[in-house]
Structure 1
């Protein structure tokens, strides 16, 4: 077993056990998601997005293993933060959750680009969801990074982007505009993850993509940029990098 990047068979067994425990509860949510998973639209998305689902499952297996090794050290697990437990260790089920959020991928739904801020409460990217998230801000940055929560969220957004490409049918925008919403969510989520867990990498991306902006948010060239515009400028550059990679 190699950590923190691959959980192997042990990670797969860990996440499957968590999902099976959730299934055994036979909740109303499970019944609703099972119904979604029987639809033709879901099956089309699943067949197109199998590589992304597998990457999601690898990431959740890693987090599952690390959480076992840190048991008792922290008050909340990844699944516990979101209340529904093992469902978040399964890419198939998490794909199913996206259908109600997006009205079967005809709308963008309420995205959370900087989801790490929901966990830690250390940034401004999740303030609008604070009233609705029971455990908002209860996770330390140390736990978020140590247990690799960002890997699951990256997998989630990769599945969502893939599904938007496969079955997206927006009525109030073009297909490209619709897909770009999910590209933005993916790249911004990763940017926020880098900022918390890999600050040197974050600064490296910034200096490469936006050489006139320093890591502390100041602008070296002449101009009147405000600090809060730097994040948008920086994020746009990261979006362009991911668009080139995901196209």
Structure 2
């Protein structure tokens, strides 16, 4: 893996440690505890990221916001990749009217709508909650994985070893999962890493618009939304959540670029 991929891996591992280990050192009560007399306090030794407009500890809210953002990202990527993998395998291997129906109709139906607008409409219709947010992001996320796997299957199914397995009487399921899938899944791993960044950014965008996790649980996007009118009186309300979003998206993008080079022998340096 190249240097940028290693940097991305370090960032991602650090964020996972913050999300997993942080709550053991920061009790949940600090997320909602309000000290209105100390609202907008700047960073200090007691509160390294300061206090927000309601006197709540920003560090505690950022840590618990990391848990929500990463859990949403992982759940969305796992569900979207699984659905996209199955439909992409079926469409690419079956061909004919099955391929025309799945790739020619369903793919185009979902691609006809701007993804974030479809997610906004879905959450606005169903109501703001964690489950509805994940569902909305899965609705717009599976198509990219399905198209990628379909393209890989269309290429791999013409290889000689697949033709030989078919000539030897191997079943379709054995050909799909024993011969085609292992040789077509590498780009999906890279896409999943990049998809984590997209899912986290989409969650922050929906939370910024008030369509994410309902209060009092913190979300980086909701924290930015609450802080946008208080930048003059408390710069730290905006800087720290925005820095976490930027760092998280950057880390997963760098990791995805590193995985792309590492998994593809043609891109490795000689």
TM-score (norm. length: structure 1): 0.29
Higher relative contact order at CA 8 Å, sep ≥6: structure 1 or structure 2? 2
Question: Which one has the bigger helix percentage?
Answer: 2
TM-score (norm. length: structure 2): 0.28
State the structure with more CA Rg.
2
